[in-house]
A and B are shown apart, each in its own frame.
Chain A
């Protein structure tokens, strides 16, 4: 089970990887969304504010009205944000659950796909 410190560390790395990837920024240039995350094992929640492809903040707790809500184990979130796990496989097996439009789910996975093509 990962605590908030581990999640925050993973999120910080993820934010840098996303915001410094020019191809990803271009791809997500019109994508502005509020994401909520729920750790099903320890109840930790956090948010992500994305503005035109740039991750602005990843605060603990839920902030704003979400466009997407992602729920899974805290360990899965950590591995996912470090790029050590392919989220699609977990999603297709029902281990990651998502609330949101299919287009947004696709965009969310596109981030991992672009910054870690070998994951």
Chain B
């Protein structure tokens, strides 16, 4: 008989399932947040002018490699556990857990960044004092928190509509901007114009524009067919590439970099330069729309991760407590609180580009680890999968080296001043990684021991004992699982 573990997904027609259009929207929507507008400016810091478009193109090519790697991983393990399970199978449980904890901090960073950026954009358009951005951050996160606690979810079609509206709205206004007379496209192929290293850093930041597109693998369980996720993984980066390229060219065309570089809302500046107040409001509306996807997807992914970790005994069990809407209320509340603190800190320090650098570096590290996982699993897993990367071994080995290099390139970058290096991004990641690893090594064993003791003391086994079965079926799991 087949083992459930690793069994190929059965071809089952579910009453509700996700097709290619929705899965692509999910992938693109998770990736394209308000912080991506700043991401484009970060690329322009290293790849001046229209050269940014070249970096975004090279980034797209690399992301297609990532799409291939995650497609094969998803074909092996089509589960919402995603990267956590890939890593567990490849490099072990503890490493996977500590990487997952670090990875989840990027979700907090993106939620915080979006709250800050949208707050700053709204305040700017309404011509309010800058301190009022704090109020907008609090209002936005409170709304997201309350909606999540009530179990409010964006319906699939709304999420799809929002994503395609944001992408097409940004693309259309960028095209309008490109037809605007008065600007100029400068230095289109000057990728290494600033320094020999600048092109590599520009490429690393370009990857950030696509960051989180691979999270669509967590919806594998609701996909109509396994190939739906593969197609979404390949189509979504192309959509983002088109939109980000048009946006980068429009920015170059109409807004001087010296103005962009100190702004938290480059998209509003582009909108205003292209169509005046209408363009500014247009881009503000799109920026606010991105929040729907970020807050809906971000809160959902992170709070469910926390819930699962608590249920598994890897976090205090209070994080698994559910309210009457079946929402892990403490996980959601903690997320909102931490995001508010991070957003306020970013606002107070003005270090929003540092957030981009940290996010870009973590994403490169995840791509390197994804490549490493597939490299290892290719030796161990012989099962059929719905997608197999052509020239998989050399490409995954190349991926490990390349993305590790890009991780270091972003980790030591200073997007505020492309001419110098900074250890701040990698220092933040090192602290996050050390905290995660320390927690996994020191606190998780204690939590699990306490949970096991509690279960043994409070709760005897309920299943009636059947001695004849136990003798008959050695090793088939008639004893309670150690997980219980």
Contacts and interface: CB of A to CB of B under 8 A. Distances in A.
Given A92-B308, A105-B80, A100 B222 contact: yes
A111 to B, nearest CB: 10
A74 B454 CA distance: 27
B462 A99 contact: no
Interface residues of B, number: 58
A97 B9 contact: yes
Contacts of A106: 304, 307, 326
Contact of A102 (B80, B313, B476): B80
Given A41-B3, A97-B7, A119-B455, A84 B12 contact: no
Given A78-B463, A93-B85, A118-B454, A66 B12 contact: yes
A77 B78 CA distance: 20
Interface in B62-115: 77-81, 84-85, 88-89
A27 to B, nearest CB: 5
A26 B313 CA distance: 26
Contacts of B9: 97, 99
B14 A113 contact: no
Contacts of B464: 9
Given A34-B15, A40-B2, A40-B7, A85 B481 contact: yes
B484 A114 contact: no
B478 interface: yes
A27 B326 contact: yes
A73 B385 CA distance: 21
Interface string A62-76: 000111110111011
Interface string B440-475: 000000000000001100110111101001000100
Given A85-B481, A86-B483, A73 B4 contact: yes
Contact of A110 (B1, B79, B326, B461): B326
A40 B1 contact: yes
Given A41-B3, A94-B77, A107-B326, A86 B484 contact: yes
B218 interface: yes
B14 A66 contact: yes
Interface string B1-27: 111111101101111100000000000
- Give the bracket for the number of chain A residues in contact with chain B: 35 or more
Contact of A99 (B1, B14, B218, B326): B14
Contacts of A79: 463, 477, 480-481, 484
Contact of A67 (B3, B16, B476): B16
B27 to A, nearest CB: 15
A23 B10 CA distance: 34
B1 A41 contact: yes
Nearest to B93: A93
B306 to A, nearest CB: 12
A83 to B, nearest CB: 6
B324 interface: yes
Contact of B4 (A28, A85, A97, A105): A97
B322 interface: yes
B478 A94 contact: no
A101 B159 CA distance: 15
B325 interface: yes
A102 B483 contact: no
A56 B78 CA distance: 30
Interface of A: 1-2, 6, 9-10, 13, 23, 26-28, 31, 34, 36, 38, 40-43, 65-69, 71-73, 75-76, 78-79, 82-86, 88-103, 105-107, 109-110, 113-114, 116, 118-119
User: Which are the 7 A-B pairs with shortest beta-carbon distances?
Assistant: A89-B483, A40-B4, A82-B463, A88-B311, A75-B477, A72-B4, A85-B484
21 contacts: A10-B463, A27-B324, A28-B326, A41-B1, A41-B2, A65-B14, A68-B14, A75-B478, A84-B480, A86-B312, A86-B481, A92-B308, A94-B5, A97-B7, A98-B79, A98-B221, A99-B12, A99-B14, A105-B221, A109-B311, A113-B320
Given A76-B477, A118-B459, 11 more contacts: A40-B4, A66-B14, A75-B476, A79-B477, A79-B484, A83-B462, A91-B79, A97-B78, A102-B80, A118-B454, A119-B455
